[in-house]
Amino acid sequence: MLQEKVSAVTDGGVNAAHAPGLCEIAPEPSNLGPAAPASDQHSNEADQSIENIKVFLHERELWKKFHEAGTEMIITKAGRRMFPGYKVKVTGMNPKTKYILLADIVPADDHRYKFCDNKWMVAGKAEPAMPGRLYVHPDSPATGAHWMRQLVSFQKLKLTNNHLDPFGHIILNSMHKYQPRLHIVKADENNGFGSKNTAYCTHVFPETAFISVTSYQNHKVEFHPTPPCTVQMNHDHRQAEAWQVLLRNRRLSMLSSCQITQLKIENNPFAKGFRGSDEGDLRLSRQHGKDYPVISKNMVRQRLVTSHTHLTGKLGAGLLQAHPQVLPHYQYESGIPLANSDTQDTLANAFPSGREPGLLYHCFKHRDNSRHLELGCKRPYLETAPSAVSEEHYFRSPTSYEPPLLSHSYCGEAHGTREACMYGGEEGDPGVGGGPAGVDSLAPPSLNCNMWASVQPYPRYSMQAVDAVSYQPFATHFSSAAAAASATMPHHSVSAQRPQPPPPDMTIYAPVGTQRGLPPAHSSSSPCSSSSSSPALGPGNRAPHPSLYPRKPGTSPGPLPHRDFSAFHPQSPQPVRDPPYQYPMGMSNTGVHWTDS
DNA sequence: TCCTCTCCCACATTTGAATGGA
DNA sequence: ATCCATTCAAATGTGGGAGAGG
C-alpha cells in the first residue's frame, strides 16, 4: 500500500450514488468536477451513509491518456500487473466504521476485438467469460480512517489468461474489453457478517476500461535511417528534407500521448529501460543485431504525428500532398485525431464501444460485408491505407458513446442468506477472523484478506439471473454484498438483456501460494489449505514464482470445481483449514436500496 | 503448403524490498 | 537506531518463434 499523502490525489470525482439495482447509468451532470453528493436517502445518517463515500481515481489524467489511446493491458500466464495501477482515494467514510474494499474486473461488453488498421475493431462474439474473481484489498477490513488516510492501491492486482490459474489472479480473455470496478462494503459489527443488511457501493471509472492483450498490438517497425520506399521512390528534395525533419524530431516529446506502449514506457518505472534515447535505441538495436536504430512503431507514429505540424508547414504540397495515401493513414490511426478531430472522436475511435447501439450496428454491418476484417492488416505498416477514411464511417458513429469520466457509484444492499462468514473458516479463529463475532478482531494487520471469488461476467447484471441463482450453502454477507454490488453493475444493453441461466461454475477461488516459501495449493478441493496470504500482500509475502510450482500434465488444478474456495488468510503461516466459503454471485436483491442497519 | 493471428518465452534493464555491516 | 551498500526477486516491453486455424 502506498503511503502517499492524501493531498497527492489529483483525480476527479465520484458521481452520485444511484438507486441500487438499476441496470442503467443515470446521466451525470458533470464529468469533471468533484462528485456530486450522493442522493442521500438517509440524511439523518449522512455521516455514516455509504452513499456519502466518494472515490477519486488516482492518476486520473494518466488513465485518461491511456483511455484516449485505447488502453491495453498485458495478460500473461504468470500474471501481469495493471499499469496504470488502480489506485483510489476514498473520502466520506465513517472513520470508525470498518469497510472492505475489493475490486473486480468485468467484461465491458460481449465482443471480441482485434486490432486492425490501427484501430480496435469488433472481431466477433466474446468467448465465454472466465470465472470472475474478486480482489480484496489486503488491508480489508479496515476502518474508514485507515482507508481515507492514504491512497488505496490495487496495484498488485494481477491479470492472467491462464484459465487454470492457481495463484488467484484475475482471469481474463485476451482481446476482450474489460472494466475494473471498485466495491466498498461496510463491515462494521452493526452491519457485519450475518447481517441482513449489508451496505455497499460500487464505483466504476470508465476511463479504466481496457482491452486485454497478450502482447501490445502496436508492434515495432524498423526505423531505417534511410527513407522508406514510399519516400525514396520520389527523389524529391523536399521529401528528403522532410525525412530529415522526421529524424530530427525523433526526440521530440509527445504532443499527443497516444500510444499505449509509449505511454507505459514513459510512465512505468519498470519500463524505464525502454525509454527513448539515442543510446537506448542503439542499445535495443544492437541487442537485436541491428546496426541501425530500431524505433518502436508507436514512436514512429508519434513522431510522424508530432512532426505533422512541422511537415505541413514545411512541406506544404510536398510530401504530404505528393503522397496523400500516407497522411490519411496516420491521421486516423490509433484514434489520434489531428487538428480537426475532437476528443469524442478520439475516444470513440480508440474504443469502439459496444455500448452504443448505432456503433454496434455499424460494426456488425461492416463485418457482415466481410470486408473490414481483411482490410489493412496485411499491409506493411508504412503502406497506404486507402480504406482508412472509409473505415471511419463504420467505426465513428456520430453519436459515439462517450463514457463519462466520473466513476459511477452504485449502492445497494445485499439480502442473501448468510449461513457462514467468509472469514469464518474457523469461528473463533482469530487469525482467520471468522464470523460476525470476528469482525472486531479483524484488525487490519491480522487479516490479509485477498479473496478471489467467482463472478459471473454477464448474468450478474441480469435481474433474471439474480432470481435464478440457487444460493450456495456458504453464502456470506460479504460475498453477498460483493455479488450484489456486481449485480448492480450497469451493463450495456446487449449483455444486460441477455438472460443467463444460473452459472454452472459459480465458484470461489482461493489465493494460493502467497506466503513466501509456501507452495500454492493446487488441489482444487482445498486450494487454501497451505496458503496464508494472497499474492497482493505486502513485502515479505511475495507470491512464489510460478516456476516453483510446475504444473505437470494431469496435475493441473483443472477446471474450476463447482465448489471452489476463497478465503481471507491470516498472516500466520498456518494452513487455513478448508474454509467453507462460497460466494454465490448475483444473489442480492438488487432492487432494494441499501440500508445501514 | 502458406499465411495470419495469437500466444509464449528469453532477454536486458530497472525498481524496490530485504539484508547486513558500519 | 540510523545510514549506506549490496543482493536479489519482481516487473517491464521487446523480438523471435511456436502453434493453431483457415
Q: What percent of chain A has pLDDT over 90?
A: 15
Question: Which residues are CB-contacts of A399 (< 8 A; sequence separation ≥ 6)?
Answer: A356, A358, A359
Q: How far apart are CA A439 and CA A427, in angstroms?
A: 11
pTM, entire model: 0.55
Which three three-digit cell numbers place residue A484? 450484489
Average pLDDT over residues A253-272: 71
pLDDT reported for residue A54: 93
A267-273, Cβ contacts within 8 angstroms, sequence gap of 24 or more:
A267/A62, A267/A83, A267/A84, A268/A83
For residue range A546-574, what is the model confidence (pLDDT) as tens digits?
332 333 333 333 333 222 323 333 233 33
CA to C1' distance (Å), from A14 to C22: 47
Helices A388-395 and A357-368, interaxial angle, to 10°?
Answer: 130
pLDDT range class, residue A266, cuts 50, 70, 90 = confident
In 3D space, the residue among A171, A228, A222, A186 whose CA is nearest the CA of residue A49 turns out to be: A186
DSSP 3-state of A432: coil
Q: Is A253 helix (H, G, I), strand (E, B) or coil?
A: coil
Q: What are the residues with a C-beta under 7 Å from any atom of nucleic chain B?
A: A 76-77, 114-116, 123, 161-162, 173-175, 213-215, 269-270, 272-273, 283, 287, 377-378, 538-540
Q: Residue A81: what pLDDT?
A: 93
Pair A320, A244: CB distance under 8 Å: no
Positive or negative, the CA dihedral A197, A199, A204, A208 is: negative
| Spacing of A155 CA from C8 C1' in Å | 22
**Rounded distance in angstroms from the CA atom of residue A321 to the C1' atom of nucleotide B5:** 34
Q: Which residue has the higher pLDDT, A419 or A505?
A: A505
Cβ neighbours of residue A25 closer than 8 Å, sequence gap 6 or more: A18, A404, A408, A490
Rounded CA-CA distance A304/A78 in Å is 36
Segment of A248-262, A269-283, A438-452, A483-497 carrying the highest mean pLDDT = A269-283
Q: What pLDDT score does A168 carry?
A: 86
Q: Which long-range contacts (CB under 8 A, 24 or more apart) does A31-39 make?
A: A31/A404, A31/A405, A31/A406, A32/A405, A32/A406, A35/A406, A35/A407, A35/A409, A38/A409, A38/A411
User: Strand C-proximal residues, CB under 7 Å?
Assistant: A 74, 79-81, 83, 156, 158, 215-216, 219-220, 261, 264-265, 268, 270-271, 273-274, 284, 288-289, 294, 296, 298, 542-545
pLDDT, residue A253, reads 33
CA of A149 to C1' of B19 (A): 30
Q: CA-CA-CA-CA torsion for A525, A527, A529, A533, nearest 10 degrees?
A: -160
Q: Over the stretch A171-225, which tens digit does the pLDDT of each residue have?
A: 999 999 999 999 999 886 555 444 556 788 999 999 999 999 999 986 433 333 3
- Mean pLDDT of chain A, nearest integer: 51
Q: How many CB atoms lie within 10 A of CB A28?
A: 18
The residues, ordered by sequence, that sit 6+ positions from A568 with a Cβ below 8 Å of its Cβ are A136, A140, A422, A423, A432, A433, A447, A448, A449, A450, A451
Query: H helices of A370-525, where?
Result: 388-395, 463-468, 477-488, 493-496
Res A401: pLDDT:
33
pLDDT of residue A188: 64
Positions of strand C less than 7 angstroms from a protein CB: 9-16
What does the pLDDT read at residue A557?
A: 34
Distance CA(A433)–CA(A425), nearest Å, equals: 8
How many CA atoms lie less than 13 Å away from A344 in the CB half-sphere? 8
Least confident of A71-85, A137-151, A346-360: A346-360
Q: Which nucleotide is nearest to A81 (CA to C1')?
A: C11
Most confident of A42-46, A121-125, A229-233: A121-125
Reply yes or no on whether the pLDDT at A112 is more than 60.
yes
Mean pLDDT for the stretch of residues A380-385: 31
Calculate mean pLDDT across residues A33-52.
46
In this structure, how many other beta carbons lie within 10 angstroms of the beta carbon of residue A456? Answer: 27
Say yes or no to pLDDT of A72 above 60.
yes
Confidence at residue A85, expressed as pLDDT on a 0 to 100 scale? 92
Q: Which residue has the higher pLDDT, A442 or A172?
A: A172
A39 pLDDT higher than 90 = no
Residue A330 to residue A343: CA distance in whole angstroms: 17
Res. A75 pLDDT band, cuts 50 70 90:
very high
Q: How many angstroms separate the CA of A212 from the C1' of C19? A: 21
pLDDT for A268-304, tens place per residue? 888 888 876 544 444 444 444 444 444 444 444 444 4
**DSSP-derived pairing of the beta strands A508-509 and A452-453:** antiparallel
Asked whether residue A409 carries a pLDDT value surpassing 50, the answer given is: yes
- A289: which nucleotide lies closest, measuring CA to C1'? C15
SS3 A368: helix
- Distance (Å, whole) CA A206 – CA A221: 32
Question: Residues A476, A422: contact at Cβ < 8 Å?
Answer: yes
